[in-house]
Amino acid sequence: MTIKSNIPIISEWDIVAARQAGREAAKKMNFGTVDQARITTAISELARNIFLYAMPGNIIVEEIHENNKYGLKITAADQGPGIENIKLALEDGYTTSGGLGAGVPGVKRLMDEFSIDSEVGRGTVVVAVKWL
Ligand SMILES: Nc1ncnc2c1ncn2[C@@H]1O[C@H](COP(=O)(O)OP(=O)(O)O)[C@@H](O)[C@H]1O
Ligand SMILES: [Mg+2]
């Protein structure tokens, strides 16, 4: 059966639930422990950003097949305030909350594919894929 789970982020505990769903999916797909850690870290950062800046939102974890590739796709979608300057948000150390500003650039580094689609006043969708 194809793996797919959708975790609504409506409280801080849901960050843990999203992380666990990611770890389970990565294990089932036979990712190694290092990639499992990359995937769960990426999910944590994206879920935490929804929690901090844009609740409510959803984290979707799913198995994908493209050409001959097999991968795990994370979609973090919210209807929050959006990100005004995506280029800035991708820079290390950029934060509007006194955080570390390492979340978004970290996710980009940890995963194989990464995209952000955001519109001020409408929300943000981040998609990240790790190929097996
Ligand atoms: N889902 C989101 N909705 C709105 N703004 C966001 C979202 N995710 C990230 N941001 C913005 O991008 C900035 C950088 O995010 P990040 O790299 O995770 O660093 P940090 O969370 O430590 O500030 C945040 O401070 C916030 O302004
Ligand atoms: Mg963050």
Q: What are phi and psi of 98, to 5 degrees?
A: 75, 20
Ligand 1 proximity of 106 Cβ (cutoff 6 Å): no
Residue 97, pLDDT above cutoff 90? yes
If you measure from the C-alpha of residue 49 to the centroid of ligand 1, how many angstroms do you get, rounded to a whole number?
Answer: 6
Ligand 1 proximity of 74 Cβ (cutoff 6 Å): no
Q: Give me the chain's average pLDDT, please.
A: 97
Which ligand places an atom closest to the C-alpha of 125?
Answer: 1
If you measure from the C-alpha of residue 103 to the centroid of ligand 2, how many angstroms do you get, rounded to a whole number?
Answer: 4
- 17-43 per-position pLDDT tens digit: 999 999 999 999 999 999 999 999 999
Alpha carbon distance 112, 16 (integer Å) = 23
At the fourth CATH level, the homologous superfamily of domain 4-131 is Histidine kinase-like ATPase, C-terminal domain (3.30.565.10)
**pLDDT given at position 8:** 98
Q: Which long-range contacts (CB under 8 A, 24 or more apart) does 27-32 make?
A: 28/3, 29/3, 29/63, 29/70, 29/72, 29/132, 30/132, 31/72, 31/130, 31/132
Region 75-89: mean pLDDT is 97
Whether 36 and 27 have beta carbons less than 8 Å apart is answered as yes
Give the residue among 82, 101, 83, 79 at the shortest CA–CA distance from 92. Answer: 101
Residue ranges of the domains in the chain?
4-131
Residue 56, pLDDT above cutoff 90? yes
Residue 124, pLDDT above cutoff 90? yes
pLDDT class for 1, splitting at 50, 70, 90? Answer: confident
| Element spanning 131, H or E | strand 123-131
Q: Is 49 exposed, middle or buried (0-12, 13-18, 19+ CB in 10 A)?
A: buried
Residue 76, pLDDT above cutoff 90? yes
Best mutation site among 83, 84, 119, 125 for ligand 1 pocket (most ligand atoms within 8 Å of CB):
83
Best mutation site among 58, 104, 109, 110 for ligand 1 pocket (most ligand atoms within 8 Å of CB):
104
Q: Record the pTM.
A: 0.97
Q: What percent of the chain has pLDDT over 90?
A: 99
Whether 2 and 62 have beta carbons less than 8 Å apart is answered as yes
Ligand 1 proximity of 96 Cβ (cutoff 6 Å): yes
**pLDDT given at position 94:** 97
